[in-house]
Structures are given as structure tokens and as C-alpha cells.
Structure 1
Amino acid sequence: MAARLRAIAALTTVMALSSPPAQADEAPPHLTDGFGLTVTSQPRWVDENRRTFVFSVSTDQVPTPTLLAGQEPGRHAIVVTLPSAYSTTKRYPVQYYLHGHPDRPDSQWNQRVVEKATENAELITVQPNGSGRGWYSNWVNPGAAGPQNWETFHLEQVIPFVDANLRTKPDRANRAIVGHSMGGFGALHYAEHRPELFSHVGSFSGGLDLRNSEIRAAITSTMISPGSGTPTVNADAVFGSPFWPFDGVWNAQSPAHNTHTLRGMGIALYTGNGGDLTVNPIQAVLENRARETTLVTAANLRANGIPFQLHDYGDGSGWAPGCSGKHADEACVQADMNHFVSLLAPRA
């Protein structure tokens, strides 16, 4: 009996030594070019916690994106956050998180929101570059900017590249997409165009109604504003002219009006009302107007008989501590992401 116990103990020791720990490796994964993407910088951890890494790629679909401060010409940063108990022997569901305007995937607040929400979730999160003004669309009039095929870049290149290089579960049932503001638009836009790719979609205060004159004004203003990136582009670059009778692309591409393709998908919409409009009025008004587009989307989902969740949290006081119901309030977005992640992945 003693000899048998010693043998079992020895076998257990060997198995423990040969199995990788249930945490990220010391080095992030090495990535291989493919699907039209060339890796221009290999992954590096963003901090000592070794949960989030960033790498960059180039693509002929968006070879010359407009640039925010600190971004490099022709190089698209992509940020990946791994589960806190990541293991190289397992595969994980993946969510794509699309940033807003004028933001970038490697901003610290995006990292904080994702890491907090997924700390105990068995879920990989990928944040691709959407430029300050990419609008998650294939532009119809890019002009001197050259090809700006953001939708092709993300859906036909980034997704298969990620599945080929990371330990994802590469199927619809284990893939979700969500975004904030411009990214909320992008998430519904992508899910409606390619419903076979995603099982869940979410919008955090997205500008979802391209038939809304205020949303049109907001989008066209991002084209000509240096704060959205340099160089600036023509106001009609993404969707063409916003004026009738030349506004057919705006009408056709409006996520609020294409909800029928989302049938069978888990759908979650989140919005505040801006709270006190006299406090931080710009962010208050932005949220208030985004809410109107969210309600139009919800009405069209109901009309199509499609189940969905709507979290219309008003001034935010009942949604999360510190949430003011304003557009880029980190506490509100954190609560949105916490809830959306709870719909996707088992807790570790």
C-alpha cells in the first residue's frame, strides 16, 4: 500500500509540473501574419498585471487611417484582455469591444472598464482600432484619404486573424460584439450586416438612428474636426451626402431601421438621459440624443417581435454608484459592461 501511495504522489507531481498554470504566460503570444493583416509590432503587456496586451497590424483595407495624437501612420493598435485565470490548455468565448469617438482602443479608461468587468469571467476581449472617425463602415467617398474599409478590416480580417492566433472558441455561439457611442453604432451595424458571426450584440449609448438629423450633424462634424484626427476629410466621406434626395446610404445603413436581421441574437441596449443638463451640458446633451436613437431602435425591435433588453437608466442614480447618466461617464459605462459580460460568460 505504501509503495502504491508513493507512486500516486509521484504521478501527481509530474502532472502538476507538466501542466501550465491557470494564468497568462510570462510572454504574450507570438502572432502570425494572415487574412490580409501584417503584424507590425508583436504583443507586449501593457502593465505588470499581464492580463492585457497590445499589438499592431497594417492592412490594405485601411492603409492610411486618420490619426489621433500618439498614433502611428499605417499601424492599427489592437488590444486584447485575457481572463484573469487564463490557461493555454483551454479555449474561451470572445467579445469585440468597439471604442467611441474620439477615442482609441489603447486608452487607459477602456482597459479599466474591460479588466474590471471580465476579472472573473472566462472571456477574451478584443478591442480593434476604429480611428477617431472610422464609424465602423466602408466609406463611400474617402477621397484623398484612400481606402477606409473599416467593416471589411474588422469582420473579414481581424476576426479570423484573432481566431487563428488566440485560444478562442471560433464560432457564432461564442462570439459577441458591443461598443460605446460610435462603437455602439458599429456593434449593431456589424451584427446586422453579418448576423452569422455573433450570438450577442450590445450598445452603450450608441448613435443608432442615421435618419435622425441631429445624428447626421454629429457624424458630419466629426469628419471636418481636427479633434477627430488628422488630416480632416470631407463631410460626406462615410455615408455620402446627408441631404435629401442624395441621402440613400444614410437611410439604408441606419442600425435602428435594420433590426430584423438581429432575430435570434441576444440584444442589450443601454442608455441614460443625460441627468442634470446644466452639469457638463455637452455630455448631457450627447447622451440625451443618443437615448432617442436607442428608443427608436427598441421600438423597431418590438415591431419586429424580436426579444431584447433595454436598460434605460435615466440619471444613473439607480444604475451604479457614481453614474450621472451622461454620455462618457466611466461609472455608467462600467455598469453597462458589467451587465453585458454577465450575459456572455460563466464566471471563473
Structure 2
Amino acid sequence: MLSLCLAAFAGLLLMLAPGAGAKVKVLKSEKLDSRLTELTLSTPNVDGPTGVRVLLPAGYGSSSRNYPVLYLLHGAFDDFRSWTDKGDTEALTADLPLIVVMPDTGIRDGYTDWDNGGAGGPPAWETYHIKELIPFIDRRFRTRADRAGRAVAGLSMGGYGAMIYAAKHPDLFTAAAAFSGAVNLTNPLLLAIGTPTARGEYAAHKLRFESDNPLSLAENLGGIYLTLRTGDGTSGGPLDPAGGFDIVESVVHASSVALHDRLDQLGIGHVWEDYGPGDHSWPYWQRDLKKTLPGLMKRFRAHTPAPDRITYKSADLSYGAYGWSVNVKRRAGEFSTLAGAGKAGFRIIGSGRATVRTAPLFRQCRRFAVSIRDAAGRREVIRHTGKTRRLEVKVNLGPANRYEQFTPEDEAAGHRSRTAKVAFRLLGRDRCGPKTRTQ
């Protein structure tokens, strides 16, 4: 029950963030049939108008219920119309109590905020999709506007989008699926077809790429219902047109296998289908969606709560998930990981200094003994939840690394990370002060 409340709290924060979704303006709304509507939107995060198709369940107009939402993402050189025009999505969802949202992300290097030589977006696709489009959809339609009622799936580049959005925002999605997904951004062939405008040159910006890579953030995917489906690009598949070896499917197959193996290594359960011979084409993605929908609907019906203990990895100086927040002070860019975070305590990995604030896990006005083991040694301090129901702890992760992670200078110096361990022990009730104390 507590986990469910935390997931709802995280979703509420998204909805209540200043200006969440407010910058999106509707330029045009066209009803294509009884279920399908096409919206043309404007946002400062995208150059020019951007489209989105919304597929409503049958009987939506005569019902008052709220429906789960599947964000269905297109691949490279397609657009927001592709899943309905080429993927038969309308027929596949005809009998399902489900809203399907199909946004645009451009023809290549989608689902990320472009670097543009350090100038930033537009396009800022991730900011638009996560901070603007989701709240906009939740306001405009009768959605189940919480984590347990929201999933994301996609094909090829859209499979990448589904997994990176789930990895970066695990408190927003209960499920994620990738069909022939480009889920290892640093695969050499995927690097070769990317544009430097999006993330810069890989050799000079490895941390930028790794921090935008589902494979590198796989530990963040714990507690999400995951599905990976892929062919291997060899000829002879049951849905292949006439043709031979498909290099694109071969590349995404290698990426999918890498993520599958990493999830297995981490002990994160997932649906895995390597169907062997098959090319990079719509007949397979249509079949993948058809196979995946029953599992998604079962997940929606279960109202699965967020995990009790979470792990979250990020290269940002300030990051968080599920109501937890971390602020790091260090000299250079690198990954930091909040691990095993829950009511009993947490671990944090990195360098420099970090301030960790828990989710609102505890009762108000409680006093805790906090055991800290970090670069400064072992100690026990007293902390108070106050009225926030949170604890705040500062830890020492040792000398900060001098150079950005993955650079030649960092490798020559020898990158160092230290793990700090923190445990909580309830002492009893306390008088509520105005703020939580920190050391």
C-alpha cells in the first residue's frame, strides 16, 4: 500500500510541476473516425507543429470510467501516423479498454533532448514527451493518471525510446516493451547512423551517450514489467518479403541480446522473445504488439505498486525517482547510483559529497538513529522526520574524480567510486520541528 502511495505521489509531482503540460497548445484537432483523433500541437520544445494520434477505446464517449494509457512510439523515418497506418493498431486494440497515444519524435535521433553543439534544444523530445505531453493527455482525456495505469512501447528507434523513458522515469511507467529495439545506443553501427547534432561526437561525449543508453541504465528498470522481442535478421522468417539478410535487424538483435543478458545478470525479470529468422519490417512489429497487449492489460488490471526498494543510476548532479532525491557535489561528470533504497536505508555509489533525501516513507514526528559508513568512517547520528515524513542524510564519497568519466584523462588517472552505506533505526516519537535536521 505504501509503494502504491509513493507511485501516486511521484505522478502527482509530475502533474503539479510548475507549468507541467501548460506550454502545449492545440493548433488543430481532427476526428478521423469514431475512435481515432489526430491533434496538431505546438510547444517551445519542438520546432514547428508536432502531431500526435490518440486512439480511444470503444464506448469512451458513453462511459465515465478512466482508462490506462499506452504510449506507442514510432521508429526512424516514420512518424506519429505509422502505428495506425502501417501497424493495424486500431484493429488490434478494438476490444480493449485502453487509450493509445502515438506522438511524433522526428525521423532520427528521437526520444532525447538534442545537444545542438551545447546550445540545447529544440528539439527537446524527452522534455516534451515526459513533462508536457503526459500531463496534457491526462488533463484532456479520462486517463488513469498514475504509474500503475501507464505503459510505453515502441519499435526500433521507438523501442529505444520506450526503454530509455522507462529507465530514466521508472516512477511514471508500470510497463515497457521494445520490438526490434535499438536499446544499446553505443552499438558501433548505431553510432554510425546518428547525427552529431543530437548528442555530439561519441569519442568526445561518451558520458552523454552512456547516460542516454538503456543498456547502461538497466538497473533502473527493476519493478517494471518489461518485454523485449526481436528477430536476428537472417532470411526465411515466416513474415519476410522476398529478400536476404537484413543488417538493421541484425544490429538491433545484438542490442536486444545485450540488454536481455544485462537484465538477467541483474536479476530483473522480463519477457524475452528471440524469434530467429525475421527482418526489420511492419509484419513482425504488428505481431509483436498483438503478443504484448495481453500482458500489458493484465499488468494494468493488477494495479501493481511501485517496488519497496529502488535502485536508480544517473549522471545528473541532482536526480531522483519514486520520491527519493539525490544532490551530488563533485568536480567532473560521472555516474552516481542510489541503490537498495527503502525504509531500512540505502547505499550510494560515486565520488565527492552527496545529500540524500528519502521518499515520504515514514510517519510524521519520528526520531531515527541513522548509521553511516562512508569515506569519513563510521558514525551514528540522530535524525527527525518532522512533518515531511522524510529523512535527510549527507555522506562523504571520498575525493571527487578530476576528469569526466570515460575520457582518456579519467582512464589514465584511474576512475574511483566509493560506496556509502546508510541504515535507519526507529527510536520513537518526537516533537515536530519546522524542518528535518541534517548533519
Q: TM-score of the superposition, structure 2-length normalised?
A: 0.59
Q: Which runs of 5+ in 2 are unaligned?
A: 1-19, 302-439
> With CA pairs under 8 Å and 6+ residues apart, which has the higher RCO, 1 or 2?
1
Q: CA deviation at 1:266?
A: 0.0
8 Å CA contact 2:153, 2:178 repeated in 1: yes
Per-residue CA distance 1:39-93 (angstroms, 9 max, x = gap) = 1112x2224xx1111011100111x1xxxxxxxxx11111011113434311110
Q: CA deviation at 1:338?
A: 1.0
Q: CA deviation at 1:199?
A: 0.1
Percent identity between matched residues is 32
Matches within 5 A, 1:79-90: 79-86=53-60, 87-90=62-65
Q: CA–CA distance in 1 between the matches of 2:276 and 2:139?
A: 42
Partner of 2:200: 240
Matched AA of 2:100: T
Q: CA deviation at 1:248?
A: 2.3
8 Å CA contact 1:142, 1:148 repeated in 2: no
- The reply on whether 1:272 has 2:259 as its aligned counterpart is no
Q: Residue 146 of structure 2: which of 171, 188, 192 is its match?
A: 171
Q: CA deviation at 1:36?
A: 1.2
| Other structure's SS at 1:56 match | strand
8 Å CA contact 1:96, 1:176 repeated in 2: yes
| Other structure's SS at 1:345 match | helix
Matches within 5 A, 1:83-162: 83-86=57-60, 87-107=62-82, 109-110=84-85, 112-141=87-116, 147-162=122-137
Matches within 5 A, 1:1-348: 34-42=21-29, 44-47=30-33, 50-62=34-46, 64=47, 74-86=48-60, 87-107=62-82, 109-110=84-85, 112-141=87-116, 147-218=122-193, 220=194, 235-243=195-203, 245-276=204-235, 279-281=242-244, 284-315=246-277, 325-328=278-281, 330-345=282-297
Q: CA deviation at 1:119?
A: 1.3
Q: TM-score of the superposition, structure 1-length normalised?
A: 0.74
Matched AA of 1:151: E
8 Å CA contact 1:95, 1:178 repeated in 2: yes
Q: CA–CA distance in 2 between the matches of 1:146 and 1:203?
A: 26
User: In the superposition, relative to structure 1, how do residues 169 and 109 fare at CA in structure 2: closer, same or farther (>3 Å)?
Assistant: closer
Q: CA–CA distance in 2 between the matches of 1:254 and 1:178?
A: 16
Q: CA–CA distance in 1 between the matches of 2:108 and 2:186?
A: 19
Per-residue CA distance 1:132-166 (angstroms, 9 max, x = gap) = 12420011126899521100000000000000010
Q: Which runs of 5+ in 1 are unaligned?
A: 1-32, 65-73, 221-234, 316-324
Q: CA deviation at 1:110?
A: 4.5
Greater strand share, structure number: 2
Q: CA–CA distance in 2 between the matches of 1:104 and 1:264?
A: 30
8 Å CA contact 1:39, 1:56 repeated in 2: yes
User: In the superposition, relative to structure 1, how do residues 293 and 310 fare at CA in structure 2: closer, same or farther (>3 Å)?
Assistant: same
Q: Which runs of 4+ in 1 moved over 3 A?
A: 107-112, 142-146, 277-282
CA RMSD of aligned residues (A): 2.4
Q: CA–CA distance in 1 between the matches of 2:77 and 2:201?
A: 22
Q: CA deviation at 1:112?
A: 4.4
8 Å CA contact 1:257, 1:300 repeated in 2: no
Matched AA of 1:37: V
